[in-house]
């Protein structure tokens, strides 16, 4: 008896999904969730499942688009600061603010996907699929905090692929230290900010580097430019102004993917849509929409309406996509 139609009806999945082979064995390693304490087991299971679905989309992208090859050195054994400095050097990045991180990663062969709505309280994770590094980001945080999450996951990919000597807590701390140095280099802080800078001075720095005000305050303190008392006062002031849970006056939108911006570009002669891609891969359209970072603008009810044809500013200019 074929139960695929019944499963499809109950789970809202395409019937063909249940008869196709899944590349579960192609996903390497554990998933270390950010914000795991606030996410449920169901949400974590949904996020884990998205590793496979994201990998299937990535297979299609690799087969159908011309994308840059992988440029990701093995930095296991390096300290977080050493790894951050080495990857900036390897990728020819100056000590200043970094551009759109999603597009930067894509230009170096690290593809970024979204976490579908069922895993909404999982902030981010990374994994290896068919020997390709994939980063998955949630949609719940501010753009500045999402940039930090992306940098955090890059730290895991660089330092922890085979790192079994560290505890999970140690790996999370190292990834945070990497993200801080990668996004806000100590040299940039020391070369830009005075000793005990004002809150307004920190906010100006935050806007230039596209990071959260709290992250700037912590990095400035770690660099020795904020005294203990001034650091506490700065954190209190920022908290009162709403910076602990949001980012007033910050970035207005999440960073966008150039790969998916190209894929769903309405001006392309052979334009792809979320619904069509979902049909090709036998995946739920809403999952594909979430996994592709909600790039295609969709009407209420899930029908494709239009997609963004313009590329966001700050993209690395050498990313080339040709179909």
Per-residue pLDDT band for 136 (boundaries 50, 70, 90) equals: very high
**Backbone dihedral region of 35: left (phi > 0), alpha (psi from -120 to 50 degrees) or beta?**
left
Q: Is the pLDDT of residue 302 over 50?
A: no
- Tens of pLDDT, residue by residue over 14-29, are 655 555 666 555 566 5
Q: Is the pLDDT of residue 319 over 50?
A: no
pLDDT at 227: 98
Q: Is the pLDDT of residue 313 over 50?
A: no
pLDDT at 221: 98
pLDDT at 318: 44
Per-residue pLDDT band for 1 (boundaries 50, 70, 90) equals: very low
Q: Is the pLDDT of residue 282 over 70?
A: yes
Q: Is the pLDDT of residue 315 over 50?
A: no
**Backbone dihedral region of 28: left (phi > 0), alpha (psi from -120 to 50 degrees) or beta?**
beta
Average pLDDT, the chain: 85
Measured CA distances, 146 to 57, 101, 208, 239 (Å): 22, 10, 16, 19
Q: Which of 130, 91, 132 has its CA nearest to residue 111?
A: 132
- Tens of pLDDT, residue by residue over 73-90, are 999 989 999 999 999 999
pLDDT at 308: 42
pLDDT at 121: 73
Rounded to whole angstroms, the Cα distance separating 209 from 125 reads 23
pLDDT at 151: 98
**Average of per-residue pLDDT across 27-33:** 60
- Tens of pLDDT, residue by residue over 200-214, are 999 999 999 999 999
**Average of per-residue pLDDT across 235-257:** 97
Rounded to whole angstroms, the Cα distance separating 49 from 99 reads 30
211 within 8 A of 144, measured Cβ to Cβ? yes
pLDDT at 203: 98
- Tens of pLDDT, residue by residue over 186-241, are 999 999 999 999 999 999 999 999 999 999 999 999 999 999 999 999 999 999 99
Q: Which of 317, 316, 321, 322 has its CA nearest to residue 105?
A: 316
Which helix (H) or strand (E) covers residue 91, if one does? none
pLDDT at 233: 98
Q: Is the pLDDT of residue 10 over 90?
A: no
């Amino acid at each position: 008896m074929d139960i695929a139609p019944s499963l499809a009806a109950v789970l809202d999945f395409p019937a063909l999904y249940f008869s196709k082979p899944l590349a579960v064995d192609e996903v390497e390693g554990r998933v270390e969730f950010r914000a795991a304490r606030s996410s449920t087991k169901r949400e974590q299971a949904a996020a884990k499942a998205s590793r496979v679905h994201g990998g299937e989309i990535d297979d299609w992208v690799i087969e159908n688009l011309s994308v840059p090859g992988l440029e990701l050195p093995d930095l296991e054994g390096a300290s977080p600061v050493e790894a951050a400095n080495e990857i900036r050097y390897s990728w020819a990045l100056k000590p200043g603010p970094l551009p759109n991180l999603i597009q930067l990663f894509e230009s170096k062969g690290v593809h970024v996907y979204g976490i579908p709505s069922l895993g909404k309280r999982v902030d981010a994770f990374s994994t290896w699929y068919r020997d390709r590094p994939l980063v998955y980001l949630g949609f719940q945080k501010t753009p500045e905090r999402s940039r930090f999450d992306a940098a955090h996951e890059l730290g895991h990919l660089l330092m922890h692929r085979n790192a079994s000597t560290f505890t999970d807590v140690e790996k999370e701390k190292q990834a945070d230290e990497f993200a801080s140095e990668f996004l806000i280099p100590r040299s940039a802080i020391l070369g830009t900010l005075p000793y005990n800078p004002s809150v307004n001075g920190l906010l100006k720095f935050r806007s230039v580097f596209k990071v959260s005000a709290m992250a700037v305050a912590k990095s400035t303190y770690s660099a020795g430019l904020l005294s203990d008392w001034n650091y506490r006062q700065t954190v209190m002031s920022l908290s009162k102004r709403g910076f602990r849970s949001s980012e007033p006056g910050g970035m207005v939108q999440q960073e966008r993917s150039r790969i998916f911006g190209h894929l769903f570009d309405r001006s392309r002669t052979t334009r792809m849509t979320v619904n069509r891609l979902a049909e090709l891969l036998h995946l739920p359209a809403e999952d594909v929409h979430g996994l592709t970072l909600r790039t295609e603008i969709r009407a209420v009810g899930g029908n494709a309406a239009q997609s963004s044809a313009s590329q966001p500013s700050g993209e690395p200019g050498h990313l080339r996509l040709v179909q």
